[in-house]
Amino acid sequence: MISLGIESTAHTFGIGIVGPKGKICLNLRETYKPPKGSGIIPAEAKAHHEAVASKLLAKAKNSFDFSKLNLISYSKGPGLPPCLKVGLTAARNLAKELKLPLLGVNHCVAHIEIGKLATGTKDPVVLYVSGGNTQVLALAGGRYRVFGETLDIPIGNAMDVLARRMGYGFPGGPVTARLAEKADKFIEMPYSVKGTDLSYSGLLTHASRLIGKESNENISHSFRETGFAMLTEVVERALAHTGKKEVLLTGGVAANVRLQEMMAKMTKARKAKSYVVPESVSGDNGAMIAWTGVLMAQAGVCEATHDISPRQRTDEVKVVW
């Protein structure tokens, strides 16, 4: 079973090809960059994806023999509808042209599955932290259940907005990470964990109001320590509830060394282990969609109709593989 997967939920358009045991044969992608001072403009991201789709497909055809493919997978959601539609159209056309079955894959489930593949974890508590998502997930009763999540904005987005308000471009996560390294003071900030859920809007507002009054370095450091401590608390609670012994960090924010440090320290104290999805597959990419398609198809999943599901939640998907 060799699958070609198409990712297009938000800023990235990607095409990946993955074989039966998870061999990644190809993983091409291009990312839309919003104009300075702005977040993703859906119509612009859509135009970007349309412009790069045929180029990346041609590149993929040149580097891989498409007659070896058995399946086309596409990211059906959650995501921005105009962007998702570009991926669906490309996948539909390709499936028709090659006379192959088509499978719609949940984007968040795909992040988890490629993470498990890349790290060798079996049954982790997953911390999925990206520009569009902040969720703590774990397999229970045949689904990836959401143990906790942000009640408002995702942490990656909060850092992007904070950096933008400081006058930096996208993505803001790496910028605030660099600034935080040069801090000399911790400023108390709103710490908002509600049960197993988190809220970042108060923290963002508080930090934003300090711009110009405190140094960007100290704001970034204090934001980071507070925001990441919240994540660590919720992940620890999920470990305690589920009895699981592995933590898997994924999504763009997983690249943050300080977050990795905090998670490693907490898991060590609980005699658990923390794993980080390598950057090559932690951001949005086509290989994760292709690989999840392989898992689904091998377990007998097939679909008669194909559409996008912009608001599909992780726990709507039955994990039958």
The Cα–Cα gap between 15 and 57 comes to 7
Q: Shortest distance, CB of residue 155 to ligand AMP, whole angstroms?
A: 8
**Could you tell which of ligand AMP, Mg ion, none binds residue 159, using a CB distance below 5 to 8 A set by kind?**
ligand AMP
The Cα–Cα gap between 106 and 72 comes to 14
The Cα–Cα gap between 265 and 123 comes to 20
Q: Shortest distance, CB of residue 259 to ligand AMP, whole angstroms?
A: 7
Q: Shortest distance, CB of residue 96 to ligand AMP, whole angstroms?
A: 30
Q: Shortest distance, CB of residue 187 to Mg ion, whole angstroms?
A: 30
The Cα–Cα gap between 315 and 294 comes to 19
Toward ligand AMP, which CB reaches closer, 267 or 285?
A: 285
Closest CA to 155 of 225, 80, 217: 225
Q: Shortest distance, CB of residue 180 to ligand AMP, whole angstroms?
A: 9
The helix/strand/coil state of 240 is helix
Toward Mg ion, which CB reaches closer, 34 or 95?
A: 34
Q: Shortest distance, CB of residue 98 to ligand AMP, whole angstroms?
A: 29
Toward ligand AMP, which CB reaches closer, 284 or 315?
A: 284
- Residues 210-249 vs Mg ion: string with x where CB under 5 A? ----------------------------------------
Toward ligand AMP, which CB reaches closer, 71 or 149?
A: 149
Q: Residue 285 CA to chain centroid, in angstroms?
A: 9
Whether 232 and 263 have beta carbons less than 8 Å apart is answered as yes
Q: How far apart are the first and last CA of the chain?
A: 14
Closest CA to 319 of 79, 128, 106, 4: 106
Contact residues for ligand AMP, defined by CB under 6 A: 130-132, 156-157, 159-160, 171-174, 177, 251-253, 255-256, 283-284
Closest CA to 102 of 290, 299, 320: 290
Whether 158 and 115 have beta carbons less than 8 Å apart is answered as no
Toward ligand AMP, which CB reaches closer, 95 or 277?
A: 277
- Residues 105-134 vs Mg ion: string with x where CB under 5 A? -------------------------x----
**Could you tell which of ligand AMP, Mg ion, none binds residue 172, using a CB distance below 5 to 8 A set by kind?**
ligand AMP
**Could you tell which of Mg ion, ligand AMP, none binds residue 115, using a CB distance below 5 to 8 A set by kind?**
none
User: Read out DSSP for 120-163?
Assistant: --SS-EEEEESSS-EEEEEEETTEEEEEEEBSSS-HHHHHHHHH
Toward ligand AMP, which CB reaches closer, 113 or 160?
A: 160
The Cα–Cα gap between 1 and 24 comes to 12
**Could you tell which of ligand AMP, Mg ion, none binds residue 293, using a CB distance below 5 to 8 A set by kind?**
none
The Cα–Cα gap between 292 and 319 comes to 10
Toward ligand AMP, which CB reaches closer, 34 or 82?
A: 34
Toward Mg ion, which CB reaches closer, 106 or 192?
A: 106
Select the residue interacting with Mg ion from 113, 225, 284, 315 (CB under 5 A): 284
Q: Shortest distance, CB of residue 172 to ligand AMP, whole angstroms?
A: 5
Q: Shortest distance, CB of residue 198 to ligand AMP, whole angstroms?
A: 15
The Cα–Cα gap between 194 and 62 comes to 51
5-44 positions binding Mg ion, by CB under 5 A: none
The token pair that represents 163 in the structure block: 């950096």
Q: At what angle do helices 172-180 and 257-269 cross, to 10 degrees?
A: 70
Contacts with Mg ion by CB under 5 A lie at 130, 284
